[in-house]
Amino acid sequence: MADCVIVGGGLVGLTTAYTLNQRGLDITVIEQRRLGGSASWAAGGILSPMYPWRYPDEVVQLASSGAHQYPALSAELASATGVDPEWFPCGLLTLDIPENKSLVAWADRTGTALEVCPKEWVNKQIPSMSFDGTAAWMKQVATIRTPRLIKALHSYLRQRGVALVESHKVTGLIRDGNRAVGVDLGGNKCLGERVVIASGAWSGLPLADLPEMPPIYPVRGQIIHLDAPEDFISTMILKENKYLIPRKSGSILVGSTTENVGFEERTTPEARNELHDFALNLFPELAGRRVINHWCGLRPGSDDSIPYICVHPHVENLYFNTGHFRNGIVMAPAAAELLAKIMLGDKPAQAAAFGFHRPETNRN
Ligand SMILES: Cc1cc2nc3c(=O)[nH]c(=O)nc-3n(C[C@H](O)[C@H](O)[C@H](O)COP(=O)(O)OP(=O)(O)OC[C@H]3O[C@@H](n4cnc5c(N)ncnc54)[C@H](O)[C@@H]3O)c2cc1C
């Protein structure tokens, strides 16, 4: 019997396995498809919430703590596995910010390095961009290549003896009275002292006879990968919820859509055109450049964008680490730490904000 069975092999499941393994627990991860997840594999990899000032403080703190862990995590994984997740501190420039005043106050209050920049400064920095407004510059924000991060974690966890089971769908929970003691794999059983649901967009689906699941639903996101001249942009650029992310190779990711289309995991020509137009409106010079790739993933969405990092209200030893919506990459290491603390008996003060039944949020 494992000390803990984790349902879902996306980044949240894998970082939870990493953290619990470091604490000495024997872990099994069960993934219905291939390890890597739906949202995790597809993500752009910005290591900050977009417009962080619009989120509750607890979300910003968790994201900031996750972002701070990435340089060391990325280096550790690269050295142990030979796969470099390419943590890249290229900064984030947010264009056309409507909330100038509250932004400065927010940055002061939260200790975030942020500069409000006039259009002259922006135009000097990025002369090829068509822009006529005010921007916010957060130079400390980094990006990471999530498929590489997942590959490195996969390899690292195998080296450490974590059992990674692919192509097995969890169909139910096994209980001993009021305690979770494992999961059902459609006939086979996988027993564990504890169970963690980290099944992303699927986490809200009923699991056997469980009375309550968190209200999580899928939100599709699409990204295109665009060819670009070498060193075309050196920073991430965000405008009206869409963004450009430079890759070290010189190409650019253009993301992303937010679509409520249920569990429909397919790309569409409309989204491809929308993202392409967005890039060309900012950088007319990119006209004629090839779309190298186009993909999508299902985010674990919720109405308040606050993840569930908690124990089930009625079932002992059944935990959740899910519902990270647009911020699951940046939050993952810190969310895993928080869950480990909750699971292993610490009572972290920040846990209340991520509970199954949460207090009113502190929106800014
Ligand atoms: C286009 C796009 C761009 C994004 N960009 C960013 C970004 O720049 N920065 C950021 O921080 N976040 C970003 N996100 C959000 C982030 O990707 C997600 O919040 C995060 O990846 C969620 O991770 P997860 O492991 O919970 O879900 P997933 O990665 O979806 O993994 C869940 C896994 O659980 C498995 N599963 C489900 N049900 C079962 C079952 N019954 N049995 C076994 N396995 C099961 C699924 O197959 C899946 O592999 C983006 C998301 C998308 C789609």
pLDDT tens digits, residue range 269-328?
999 999 999 999 999 999 999 999 999 999 999 989 999 999 999 999 999 999 999 999
**SS3 at position 80:** helix
Pocket test for ligand 1, best of 48, 90, 329, 354 (most atoms within 8 A of CB): 329
Q: Is 221 in the pocket of ligand 1 (CB under 6 A)?
A: yes
End-to-end CA distance of the chain: 45
CA dihedral (13, 14, 18, 21) positive or negative? positive
Q: Is 74 in the pocket of ligand 1 (CB under 6 A)?
A: no
What CA dihedral angle connects 10, 11, 16 and 22, to 10 degrees? 120
What is the rounded distance in angstroms from the CA atom of residue 186 to the CA atom of residue 169? 7
Q: Which residue's CA is the nearest one to ligand 1's atom 1?
A: 221
Residues paired with 236 in a beta bridge: 92
Q: Which atom of ligand 1 is nearest to the CA of 327?
A: 11
pLDDT reported for residue 362: 45
Calculate the alpha carbon distances from 287 to 124, 212, 255, 276, 280 in Å. 22, 50, 17, 9, 6
Write out 149-169 in H/E/C secondary structure.
HHHHHHHHHHHCCCEEECCCC
Q: Which residue's CA is the nearest one to ligand 1's atom 12?
A: 327
DSSP notation for 161-214: T-EEE-S----EEEEETTEEEEEEEBTEEEEEEEEEE--GGGTTS--TT-S---
Task: State in Å: Cα 63 to ligand 1 middle.
Answer: 16
Please check whether residue 31 is in contact with residue 8, taking contact to mean a CB–CB distance below 8 angstroms: yes
Please check whether residue 15 is in contact with residue 333, taking contact to mean a CB–CB distance below 8 angstroms: yes
Q: Is 40 in the pocket of ligand 1 (CB under 6 A)?
A: yes
Pocket test for ligand 1, best of 5, 6, 11, 224 (most atoms within 8 A of CB): 11
Strands (E), the chain: 2-7, 27-30, 92-95, 115-117, 135-138, 163-165, 172-176, 179-185, 188-197, 217-226, 236-239, 242-246, 252-255, 291-301, 308-311, 318-322
pLDDT reported for residue 123: 93
The tokens for 268 are: 């569409």
Pocket test for ligand 1, best of 197, 326, 330, 331 (most atoms within 8 A of CB): 326
Q: Is 252 in the pocket of ligand 1 (CB under 6 A)?
A: no
Residues paired with 224 in a beta bridge: 254, 294
Could you tell me which residues come within 8 angstroms of residue 79 by beta carbon, excluding any fewer than 6 positions away? Answer: none
Q: Which atom of ligand 1 is nearest to the CA of 219?
A: 53
Q: Which atom of ligand 1 is nearest to the CA of 323?
A: 26
Please check whether residue 13 is in contact with residue 168, taking contact to mean a CB–CB distance below 8 angstroms: no
Q: Which residue's CA is the nearest one to ligand 1's atom 16?
A: 328
Q: Is 52 in the pocket of ligand 1 (CB under 6 A)?
A: no
Q: Which residues of the chain have pLDDT under 70?
A: 99-100, 208, 360-364
Pocket test for ligand 1, best of 32, 141, 267, 325 (most atoms within 8 A of CB): 32
Structural domains of the chain, with CATH? 1-87+141-214+304-364 (3.50.50.60)
The tokens for 274 are: 């929308």
pLDDT reported for residue 361: 53
Task: State in Å: Cα 198 to ligand 1 middle.
Answer: 9
Task: State in Å: Cα 109 to ligand 1 middle.
Answer: 31
Task: State in Å: Cα 43 to ligand 1 middle.
Answer: 8
What is the rounded distance in angstroms from the CA atom of residue 217 to the CA atom of residue 230? 39
Task: State in Å: Cα 153 to ligand 1 middle.
Answer: 15
Say what the pTM is: 0.97
Q: Is 43 in the pocket of ligand 1 (CB under 6 A)?
A: yes
pLDDT reported for residue 363: 43
